[in-house]
Amino acid sequence: DKYEFAMSNEDVFVVVTADMLYQDVIAHRGDKNVAFSSNGVDYSFFETFDEDYVFEQEFSDILAKGKPIVCYYGALAKWFDYDLLKKIAATNRYSVVLFGIKYDESFDENMNGEENVYFLGPRDYKVLKNYAKKCDILTIPFKINDITRATSPVKVFEYMALHKPIVTTDMNECRKYESVLIGTDHDSFLAQLEKAEKLGEDSDYLALLDREARENDWSAKAGAIIDLIRRYE
């Protein structure tokens, strides 16, 4: 009901986070009172870490294996590409670490204790960054569908602020950022992981991550919304 009301009443201010959502609004009611403001990051939050943080034994054991750690944090749901996850694990090149919640039954339905895959459950947001900082590559391995094509992932901006190489599947909103390595299919995703391994110490790439993180701080995102309201005060 809220959607139908907003789409039929151009006096309602609408904020969209992705191009597909913007086009949807335009198609329904034109471009009046619409602001584009993708998701973003609290850059300052990722400037400090708990240097004395004590990791539990399970995570310490993964670190001790010495393999590059490919990490994802967030919900595990039906839009997650579990087949891709299995292919990453099957290379025996990486430790794949997953933090988050099982949003639905998809993880248990698709995963069967595959070697090199470690589901560690949720972590408090305040300490999650300490784990991510220890990882080598941060990923978003989502299937491409109507949901993910219209998704602006908060975590991609957090990954930038963490100054870690980023590899995602071919999501529309992720294509916009130079620092994000895009895998257009499973094979190219694996190739991008190999490329990402080499970028972790690349000063130019790390500077790019930092610049794009700062450009996508929440303060900048709020500005687009404030500007829209001020025009009609």
Work out the percent of the chain whose per-residue pLDDT is above 90: 96
Q: Which single residue is written with the structure tokens 């850059």? A: 43
Query: What is 180-223 written as a DSSP string?
Result: EEEESSHHHHHHHHHHHHHHTT-HHHHHHHHHHHHHTBHHHHHH
Q: What is the pLDDT of residue 117?
A: 98
Is the predicted pLDDT of residue 231 greater than 90, yes or no?
Answer: no
Give the tens place of pLDDT for each residue, 115-133.
999 999 999 999 999 999 9
Cβ atoms of 136 and 164 within 8 Å: the answer is: yes
Contacts of 50 (CB under 8 A, 6+ apart): 127, 130
Q: What is the pLDDT of residue 185?
A: 98
Is the predicted pLDDT of residue 233 greater than 80, yes or no?
Answer: no
Contacts of 191 (CB under 8 A, 6+ apart): 183
Q: Which single residue is written with the structure tokens 């190219």? A: 188
Residue 159 half-sphere exposure, CB side, CA atoms within 13 Å? Answer: 26
Mean residue pLDDT across the chain:
96
